[in-house]
Structure 1
Amino acid sequence: MNYLVVGEPDTVKEVMRRTDDFAPSNALTSVVPLAPATLRILSKAKFALPPVLASATGERHRMVRKMVAGFFTPAKVAAVAPRVQELTRHRIAETAVALDAGPVDLSLSLARHVPPVIMAELTAQENPPLDTLKVWSRDSLELFWGWPGPGRQLELALSAAEFYGWLRAEVEASRGRDSLFGVLLAAGLSTAEVCSLGYFLVIAGQETTSQLINTALYRGLGRGTHGWAELADPKRAAEHVRGVLAEESSVHTWRRAALHDTELRGVTLPAGAEILLELSGRHAPDSPPAAYSLAFGYGLHRCLGAKLAELETQLVVQETAAALPHLERTGPEPEWLRLLSFQTPQSVMAARLPQ
């Protein structure tokens, strides 16, 4: 697929603001065409992703967005801070014990554990077992934002079908409950629509935040011992996380498509033209402090969990630096997950410095 790549921040905002000209209709479509055998697997599972939130526009989108936003209000997000600290400190205690025996992968011992619990508690929706959730999340990201060949697609489609089957059962079990899915069903959304919203919300609510925590920990440890220990200070931790968001966010691009023949900063675009928006990594060093926020999108499709992801990442970094100030990165440079719209180090190996 040939994309018009848009990186200049003001132009990115313009595209996201001009909803009558540029739509998110391609936001959740697979980067590479899915093979017939792959589609058969998904069809057998009744896999369907009708536009509801991230890929939708119009009044219905606004209605759904308002309902989902009710689960992530500023007050509710602020109120989970002690719970984030509690979960983080528990994981740090286990990590500290493991560090006595040698290097530890913080992506496994720490970063992956907190976001799923917080997401489940805020939405009143159960998660599958953590290991299963992580496999389903990674496989779905690769299926839709990676470049898998036909053979790999079959493996990923089987995983996506399992995920969707679990999700459909969870949606049906939510009828009459005061949970996110229950509220959406009560408002008149179909099971397919709630599954479509839930499919990527379950992923975005925890996987992309875990990825952000990975990068924040990795880059934090790369500051050297003194620089890492400084991140125990809340202000420095917040600045560090916002720097990562501005320069190397876990969600670094997003897509839009031209609804009709139009023009963008002097470039003529035909109807259907695919646009790749660079959300992270294109701000000048002297950009305004709010530059980091573009990592969460802009306008009507700004991420509803932006404040939550930022809070969780800051607190995990802050608490880890405070409890384990004498850490250093160790081992070879990790492999990175590099998908069209997602990136993170696959591991964050750390060891204690000799005292």
Structure 2
Amino acid sequence: MAAVLFTSWRGPVADPWPDLATVTDHLGVPHLVVTRHALVRQVLADPVTWRPENALDAVTPIPVAALRVLAGHRFRLPPTLANNGGASHPRIRAIVAEALHPARVAAQQPWLTGLVRARVDRLAAALDAGEPVDLYADLAADLPLRVLARMVELPATQTATVKEFSRAALELFWAPLDHDRQVTLAATVGRFHRVLRDFAATGGGLAARLRADGHPVDVVVGALFFLLVAGQETTSQFLTLLLHRLTGEPAVLAGLRAGTVPVADVVEEGLRLEPPIVTWRRVAAVDTTLAGTPVPAGTPVVLWLARAGRDPAVVADPAAFRPGQPGSRRHLAFGAGAHRCVGAQLSRMEAAVVVTEAAPLLTDAVVVRPPWCPDNLSFRMPDAFVIRRDRGRGGNPA
């Protein structure tokens, strides 16, 4: 199912997908796929009927050998944020939301702008010298993690470990995998989990606030686990995908240079058309109906967030990148309801800074290697985005 969804959502808006469809995954398990904006929002807004407990379930059930590896590192992932439909969720979410408060996000903007500007200057010099540059590895990959580490007071020495772990976690839990790959990934995730447990037990910042609120270390670990994966990896993915999209949007780049296209509108249109999270999951808690279709209790549901962003009932020109068009901001890239992404403002700020500073790099750029994304049910995970200067249109021939 992962491959079917991931390759299909970028098709034309008039594709044959119905409002609801039953799709069988790579293990033969049927899932109800919800494609339309109104229905996706309806499910997300009703956490009683449509429960979130399966949000972090492994797409490929983890085999005993990999479970033993995880157990050896005392890996546990209790419900905290995305997979928490219980009474503890609002309080945990409130503490995390305070750590990511818009005022605290805004306070990071000058520091981030300086960092991005310095990187862009180096990349521009390389392009002017005729060298190719990788806008994922050399610009976007670690920026969100570095910002988040400052906000949750994660030691800077651990950021490289977190980056390795976060991509491994997205693959382990959301990708179709073979046995050997699962065991390898479990070792990576398990090692980080041990480091994270130590930080959760003794660290300051968000970890200390969660402990002070009476949450046990396992819960602190669970909250940090998801935040350090979804809170930064998805944003670095989005930055890469948006910059790539802009290489094919010369009119938008010209509008950014001229100041006639607001960067905030570019970010929102990017979230609508190039969301880093293409699907999310729920499970029917009771026998119910959706759009008149009976849905038995226990049915796994896949919410096609990316397809909902291209719903012609919401936006007039669904396939076109038109910043500011009516409906552009009604995307569901951050979800909706009680589990809406708590880091939405942080992601928007980071994207606005990167687009503002990096847009000049994209003018007269030739894409040498577009981002490639592996098969994954929910996350796009681009690995590289290489460009060079088009010497035939004003680039330095040196």
TM bucket (normalised to shorter chain) is: over 0.9
My pick for the range that moved more, 42-51 or 71-80, is 71-80
Query: Do structure 1's residue 42 and structure 2's residue 70 form an aligned pair?
Result: yes
Q: 1:3 to 1:127 in 2, by over 3 A?
A: farther
Shift of 1:335: 2.1
Kindly indicate whether the alpha-carbon contact (under 8 Å) linking 1:27 and 1:55 is maintained by their aligned counterparts in 2: yes
In the other structure, the counterpart of 2:186 is: 157
Kindly indicate whether the alpha-carbon contact (under 8 Å) linking 2:269 and 2:328 is maintained by their aligned counterparts in 1: no
Q: Deviations over 1:54-107 (max 9, x none)?
A: 111243111111111111122222232222211111211222233225111100
| One-letter identity of the residue aligned with 2:272 | A
Find the aligned partners of 2:379 and 2:364 in 1 and give their Cα distance.
27
In the other structure, the counterpart of 1:321 is: 359
| One-letter identity of the residue aligned with 1:231 | L
SS in 1 for 2:306: coil
Kindly indicate whether the alpha-carbon contact (under 8 Å) linking 2:281 and 2:302 is maintained by their aligned counterparts in 1: yes
Kindly indicate whether the alpha-carbon contact (under 8 Å) linking 2:370 and 2:384 is maintained by their aligned counterparts in 1: no
Kindly indicate whether the alpha-carbon contact (under 8 Å) linking 1:218 and 1:329 is maintained by their aligned counterparts in 2: no
Match of 2:195 among 145, 166, 170: 166
In the other structure, the counterpart of 2:276 is: 250
Query: Do structure 1's residue 183 and structure 2's residue 220 form an aligned pair?
Result: no
Shift of 1:204: 1.4
Query: Do structure 1's residue 71 and structure 2's residue 104 form an aligned pair?
Result: no
SS in 2 for 1:158: helix
| One-letter identity of the residue aligned with 2:56 | L
Q: 1:128 to 1:155 in 2, by over 3 A?
A: farther
Kindly indicate whether the alpha-carbon contact (under 8 Å) linking 2:279 and 2:304 is maintained by their aligned counterparts in 1: yes
Q: How does 1:1-355 map to 2 (within 5 A)?
A: 1-99=29-127, 100-174=129-203, 177=204, 179-224=205-250, 227-232=252-257, 233=259, 235-282=261-308, 283-284=311-312, 285-286=315-316, 288-292=327-331, 294-322=332-360, 324=361, 326-354=363-391, 355=394
Q: Deviations over 1:123-167 (max 9, x none)?
A: 222255544332211111000000110011011000010110110
Q: 1:103 to 1:234 in 2, by over 3 A?
A: farther
In the other structure, the counterpart of 2:24 is: none
Q: Deviations over 1:220-247 (max 9, x none)?
A: 11224x5434334484432222122112
Unaligned runs of 5+ in 2: 1-28, 317-325
| One-letter identity of the residue aligned with 1:307 | Q
Find the aligned partners of 2:102 and 2:202 in 1 and give their Cα distance.
28
Find the aligned partners of 1:337 and 1:238 in 2 and give their Cα distance.
29
Q: 1:281 to 1:337 in 2, by over 3 A?
A: same
CA RMSD after TM alignment: 1.8
SS in 2 for 1:345: coil
| One-letter identity of the residue aligned with 1:288 | G
Find the aligned partners of 1:125 and 1:133 in 2 and give their Cα distance.
10
Kindly indicate whether the alpha-carbon contact (under 8 Å) linking 2:53 and 2:84 is maintained by their aligned counterparts in 1: yes
Find the aligned partners of 1:272 and 1:36 in 2 and give their Cα distance.
24
Q: 1:261 to 1:326 in 2, by over 3 A?
A: closer
My pick for the range that moved more, 326-335 or 74-83, is 326-335
My pick for the range that moved more, 81-90 or 183-192, is 81-90
Q: Deviations over 1:1-49 (max 9, x none)?
A: 3210011111111111111111100001100111110111011111000
Shift of 1:116: 1.2
SS in 1 for 2:79: coil
Q: 1:61 to 1:17 in 2, by over 3 A?
A: same
My pick for the range that moved more, 153-162 or 123-132, is 123-132
Kindly indicate whether the alpha-carbon contact (under 8 Å) linking 1:30 and 1:144 is maintained by their aligned counterparts in 2: yes
My pick for the range that moved more, 198-207 or 277-286, is 277-286
Shift of 1:345: 3.2
Q: 1:347 to 1:67 in 2, by over 3 A?
A: same
Question: What is the percent sequence identity of the aligned residues?
Answer: 35
Kindly indicate whether the alpha-carbon contact (under 8 Å) linking 2:52 and 2:283 is maintained by their aligned counterparts in 1: yes
In the other structure, the counterpart of 2:14 is: none
Find the aligned partners of 1:27 and 1:128 in 2 and give their Cα distance.
30
Find the aligned partners of 2:172 and 2:381 in 1 and give their Cα distance.
17
My pick for the range that moved more, 46-55 or 112-121, is 112-121
Find the aligned partners of 1:309 and 1:235 in 2 and give their Cα distance.
19
| One-letter identity of the residue aligned with 1:305 | G
SS in 2 for 1:260: coil
Find the aligned partners of 2:142 and 2:78 in 1 and give their Cα distance.
30
Q: What TM-score do you get using the length of structure 2 for normalisation?
A: 0.83
Kindly indicate whether the alpha-carbon contact (under 8 Å) linking 1:51 and 1:193 is maintained by their aligned counterparts in 2: yes
